[in-house]
Structure 1
Amino acid sequence: MDQALLEAAVARMLGPGGDVQGLKRLTGGANMESWSFDRDGQGYVLRRAPSAEMMAGRAYSHDVEAALIRLAHSHGVMAPEVLGELEPSDGLGSGYLMRRVEGTADPRILLDGPAPELLDQLARELARIHEIPLTDLPSGLPQSDAGELVEALAARFEAHGGDRPVMALALRWLRDHLPSPAQRVLLHGDFRIGNLMADDRGLTAVLDWELAHIGDRHQDLAYGCINSWRFGRIDRPAFGMGQFEELFVAYERESRIAVEPARFRFWLVYSTLWWGLTCLEMAEIWRSGRDRSLERVVIGRRASETEADLLMLLEEDAPESERRAVDLPQSPIVRRQGEPSQEELFEAVSEWIEQDLKPQLSGRDRFQANVALNALGMLKREGALPFDRTLSDDLLAGRATLATPGLLARLKRETLAKLAADQPKYSALHAARARWSA
């Protein structure tokens, strides 16, 4: 970030004032950059895409996003206060300036000891967002239809090889369980832990509006409940904070509209698959050169999380005879003598990062060191990958189903083997082993 350019842009938006101080990039944010700074005793955050390539594939511009956040703020949603937008002449890309909100978005802090009323506050914010009149929305927001969204997932699945049987199984299930049309409302689109700020008194801000669109309110309710966004709290399915029934009751109290469990389940499966395909898309973005960040490519290996989650969501539809316990062999630990093995070299580099390098780092650099450690761990554990185009095609066509003898057991073994290599600390790995093992 060029501080001189930033100071000029801020002066244009806010008027003359002091210098920018304490400029730092915030951790996280694989899609956009967020920069925090102070000026004249006030805190600000600049949200930006430094290049046009980073905006590729976006449904609308930052100007539309900023207008939407302003609208939500005016309707009482705890959205940040937008103060101005970047212009091409600023030389900083596209984006907008917000007043900084205090609190934390760190999932570990929010979920280790959430404020008692935080889940109720999330339900309240969703209800407020869904009540914003569609006639007030800025032009350019896409509208979603369940059938069209599922077929869009199918196209993405094919573009990424079409060879992952669990994803094919989920696609077929979604096609077979399309809900009837629902009332259309404004959706935040990315309402989840990680995009919500809170302090010890509760919610302070709803962030990251770049996926907002118009659709079924149940999509917003379900999205933040997928297991990847619970950050290890697999026993608390509602945003990692409570049970579904608690969320449903709170949302109905705030919106005066009852949640439909079957419709919610559809969007839970959809959102889980969507995130898995989005992970694969991250890898393609890295390969293309649009963004060669370490974080981007490592997220690509999180797709295996969603495959385990999908099996756990869908196995209840299998015949009882196919839901029996299965053998889940553990990979033996191989010790060797002589020159160091590939695994030992990975271990040595990991120890250097963990023990020597990381203690000297802070902020985003420390975050990136953790990402590097995750990447090395994946390489160290790399094993056979359970990809099968023929079986995927059979599942999509309905020639193979959860009633096919032995199929569910095979998918369980292969999925957990892949997950153990990619994300050995992921909550579903331990939960699935306990549920499925003989």
Structure 2
Amino acid sequence: MRRAIGEGEVTDCMRLTGGATMESWRFVFAGEPYVLRRAPSLEFMAERPFGHDSEAAIVRAAHAAGVTAPEVVADLEPEDSLGSGFIMRALPGTPDPRAILAMEDASGLLKEAARDLARIHAIKRDALPDNVPELDYAEGIAGLRQQFEEAGGDRPIIALGLKWLADNVPETVEPVLNHGDYRLGNLLAEGSRLTGVLDWELAHFGDPHEDLAFGCMAVWRFARYDRPALGLGSLEDYFAAYEAESGRKVDRERFRFWTIYRTVWWALGCLRMAQIWRSGEDRMLERVVISRRTSEQELDLLMLLEEDAPEEAQSEYSHWFDDLEDTESGEATMPEVLTAVAEWIGTIKEQLQPHDQFQAAVARNALGILKREEMDGGWDLHFHERAIDRAEDGIGRISTEALKTLRMRAMAKVKVDSPKYPALTVARKKWTGED
């Protein structure tokens, strides 16, 4: 900070809650608040498409383009011995989705979110680092399929999603800069005004509909499932505000494709959390708990896909649900969750800091999962070991019996893993008629 700003002292350093991959630390220097975004080691960044130097450059370009992005003031250097990262001026507002969803002028906030997204999509390549990747649609689907195989390849709904994506790849459009993680949780707001756009580590070039769709997924609406645009309002209002700012027309079919793509993407991302924990790369408790949120995405994915399902069967899938031997792939097992909780308890100090308070809440969630699994059981959503082959006929030829089985198993799994997930209530009403 002295190198970047001048004389002063660092005080009030505190790790912020959240952050499943990177750390964020808030501190005061010379009377002004700042945030350090960092990875604990250079090895942690090894497999990422670009490093923190490029991420900081992207944030600087967004800030210069009028996006409500932070001002980057310093990049970490090796001699700092702080790992990899950069420092930004702290912005006002809260990232807490529930606090944002409770703000009075949700529609005004939605318009500002659409405005900033349009501004991100207008940033030119020559203002950005050369190593910002571009998503090839078909290669992206192939990568998801590979992740699925590596995670055990035994989830029927994900297999159907991958088949649907392969059958419905849209024509390529002129790529724009995508934020890559544009949703509640990565937006700051105060007084119904957008005050910050955070977490640019997934930025890439691609279809603008991908960014539009990601923030509208059911999981990122939190308690406001009924407001499909970022949990803040209607898709019609979101699209109209985006179109007015960008001059670009929103295509509903492309929006649906990217909604399904990103739902599969996040389902596999949840599964991968358990494998990261198993590997020892990061033993944070949150990883094993997030792995159990795979079932949320499977529920959402099935509701998206079944629009294409037939009334009557053309193929039989009764052999899909064979028993599988336990493997060290896919979601965390009960013993692994228990081990993770035990390891976390060993780290508790006499006085809890905010980040540890957050971890305590995660621990309670983990124990709740185990209690519900022990008391209620519930079906696994495992597939025959060659799930991807069994799904080759796709959702368009699934039998009525198989679709009913998937629905029942999906609801039972979410009831154990995440019983307050808003989409569960919607699915139960839609599929069973029960409130």
- TM-score greater than 0.5 by the shorter chain: yes
Alignment partner, residue 73 of structure 1: 63
The answer to whether 1:93 aligns with 2:66 is: no
Q: After TM superposition, give the deviation of residue 30 of structure 1 in Å.
A: 0.8
Q: Which residue number in structure 2 is paired with residue 103 of structure 1?
A: 93
CA distance, structure 1, for counterparts of residue 392 and residue 94 of structure 2: 46
2:297 aligns with 306
**Selected match of 1:233 from 212, 220, 224:** 224
Q: Give, in whole Å, the separation in 2 of the partners of 1:399 and 1:437.
A: 24
SS in 2 for 1:11: coil
Rounded to whole Å, the distance in 2 between the matches of 1:127 and 1:375 is 39
In structure 2, distance between residues paired with 1:413 and 1:401? 19
Partner Cα distance (1:192, 1:63) in 2: 23
**Counterpart check, 1:411 vs 2:402:** no
Could you give the per-residue CA deviations for residues 151-183 of structure 1, whole angstroms, max 9, x where no partner exists? 111110111011000000111111111111111
Q: CA deviation at 1:57?
A: 2.3
Q: How is 1:347-386 mapped onto 2 (pairs within 5 angstroms)?
A: 361=352, 363-382=354-373, 383=377, 384-386=379-381
Tell me how far 1:13 sits from its aligned partner.
Answer: 2.2
Q: By how many angstroms is 1:232 displaced?
A: 2.2
Q: Which amino acid aligns with 2:94?
A: T
In structure 1, the partner of 2:281 is 290
Q: Which amino acid is 2:230 matched to? A: F
SS in 1 for 2:400: coil
Counterpart code for 1:175: A
Choose the corresponding residue for 2:37, options 47, 54, 61. 47
Q: Please state how far the C-alpha of 1:405 moved relative to its aligned partner.
A: 3.2
Q: Is the 8 A contact 1:60 1:141 kept in 2?
A: yes
Does 2:428 align with 1:437? no
**CA 399–146 in structure 1, closer or farther in 2 if over 3 Å, else same:** closer
Structure 1 position 171 matched with structure 2 position 162:
yes
Question: Partner of 1:95: helix, strand, or coil?
Answer: strand
Seen in structure 2, the aligned counterparts of structure 1 residues 205 and 408 have a Cα distance that, compared at 3 Å, is same
Amino acid at match of 2:355: R
Question: Are 2:246 and 1:251 equivalent residues in the alignment?
Answer: no
Structure 1 distance, partners of 2:46, 2:277, is 13
Partners in 2 of 1:400 and 1:74 — Cα distance? 45
Distance 2:404 2:289 in 1: 28
Find the residue that maps to 1:43 and give its secondary structure: strand
- Cα pair distance change 1:368/1:379, threshold 3 Å: same
The answer (yes or no) to whether the contact 1:165–1:391 under 8 Å persists in 2 is no
Shift in Å, 1:135: 2.3
Report if the CA contact (8 A) 1:31-1:54 is conserved. no
Does 2:309 align with 1:318?
yes
State the Cα deviation string for residues 281-307 of structure 1 (Å, max 9, x = none): 111111111110111221111111000
Q: What one-letter code is carried by the residue in structure 1 that aligns with 2:51? A: S
> Could you list the runs of 5+ residues in structure 2 that have no partner in the other structure?
314-333
CA contact (8 A) 2:188 2:194 kept: yes
Sequence identity, in percent?
Answer: 53
Q: Which amino acid aligns with 1:308?
A: L
**Could you tell me which of 415, 420, 424 is aligned with 1:420?**
415
Q: Deviations over 1:316-345 (max 9, x none)?
A: 1112458xxxxxxxxxxxxxxxxxxx9xxx
Cα displacement (A) at 1:59: 0.7
1:184 aligns with 2:175: yes
Looking at structure 2, the residues matched to 276 and 426 of structure 1 have their Cα atoms a distance apart, in angstroms, of 15
Q: Contact conserved, 1:105 with 1:198, CA < 8 A, in 2?
A: yes
CA gap 1:368/1:390 in 2 versus in 1, 3 angstroms: closer
- The correspondence for 2:141, drawn from 143, 150, 165, is 150
> More deviation in 281-290 or 377-386?
377-386
> Cα offset for 1:86?
0.4
Contact 1:219-1:268 at 8 Å conserved across structures? yes
TM-aligned CA distance change 1:138 to 1:391, over 3 Å: closer
Aligned length: 399
Structure 1-normalised TM-score?
0.87
Q: CA RMSD in A?
A: 2.2
Given residue 84 of structure 2, which amino acid in structure 1 is its aligned partner?
A: S
How far apart, in 2, do the equivalents of 1:185 and 1:114 lie?
32
Instruction: Give the CA deviation at 1:114.
Output: 5.1
Of 366, 388, 407 in structure 1, the residue corresponding to residue 383 of structure 2 is: 388
Confirm or deny: 8 A CA contact 2:306 2:395 kept in the other structure: no
